[in-house]
Amino acid sequence: MRQKRVSLTQHLIEENRRYGTVPEELRLLLEVVARACKTIGHSVGKGALGNILGSNETENVQGEVQKKLDILSNEILLESNEWGGHLSAMASEEMETIHPISKTYPHGSYLLLFDPLDGSSNIDVNVSIGTIFSVLKMPEDKTDADEKDFLQPGRQQIAAGYALYGPQTLLVLTTGRGVHCFTLDREMGSWVLTQANMRIPEDTSEYAINASNARRWFPPVKRYFEEMQTGKGGPLKKDFNMRWVASMVTDMHRILNRGGIFMYPADERNIEQGGRIRLLYEANPMAFIVEQAGGAATNGLIPMLDVVPEKLHQRVPVFLGSKNEVDRITRYHKETR
């Protein structure tokens, strides 16, 4: 018997029928984002054949060297979403300020934020990378968006997700009713539901952290890391394995499937900036996904989704994944305040 295949569109329509959480305008927006990710994935797959590898010899607003594919991915997302009438404005990790929708096109009631290509340091060595995105609602009393409209706590996200460009091209999405994974059928060009209601185990023996920064960490993180190294004979009473890809999308997808804790703490080098990970483009969408999958996400002191943004490119410490381990490292931070 032929197995029933549920497309992204069918899933979103059925979710709206069941819960009323995906009105048509939001569904159409998410479909456009998914198509843009499909286009980015196609470019990633071409690699050197598409002349998109290597540095663009420019820097983004973060002072980071941009790859050619960073620029291309940003342009794909902007151009795909600008004309549909679903958005009032967009914001990207790669742009200094927001991108208002042109007066040429109709305006919608949503705001789109994205990291067009997460893990871009891995582009040239054929390691999995991805796109992260978040959707917010425009304030009801406004028609033209400004930067302040994007400074909403993560708890107010309408939808969030990421695309993972690896051996398979995947789209992981939440609209506040669980987390669902779609696989791109490359022959048919369609997103097919392959994992529904993903759940992160509460306990774990895996962690992801850039251990080369250990000498710069602050006491709570050093304590937790040292306890993990002691294994079964230490206070945590189990052996831990480290898994670190240096692509947040890739590390988080592993954790979403089999548990783990992802940590990117602030350290002596970036404490003045607030940390390394961008709140609006990376931390908030991932925290929304993690909480919807039964995990936890904090900045070391409070739930990530309760952090009130103060600026468009704000950075934060990040601890997210399996609930019991995130709770532990959060407790260590509170004990040292």
Annotated binding site for substrate: 118-121, 210
DSSP 270: T
How far is the C-alpha of 239 from the C-alpha of 232, rounded, in Å?
5
CB atoms within 10 A of CB 166: 18
Binding residues for Mg(2+): 93, 115, 117-118, 282
CB atoms within 10 A of CB 52: 19
Q: Which residues are annotated as a binding site?
A: 93, 115, 117-121, 210, 282
Across 299-322, b (16+ Cβ under 10 Å) vs e yields bbeebbbebebeebbbbbbbbbbb
What does R_g of the chain's alpha carbons equal in angstroms?
Answer: 20
- Strand ranges in 97-195 using DSSP code E only, listed in sequence order: 99-100, 110-118, 129-137, 159-165, 169-174, 179-185, 190-195
Answer whether 114's CB lies under 8 Å from 121's CB: no
Instruction: Choose among 141, 138, 40: nearest CA to 98.
Output: 138
Contact between 326 and 298 under an 8 Å Cβ cutoff? The reply is yes
CA distance 164 to 162: 7
φ, ψ for residue 287 (rounded to 5)?
Answer: -65, -40
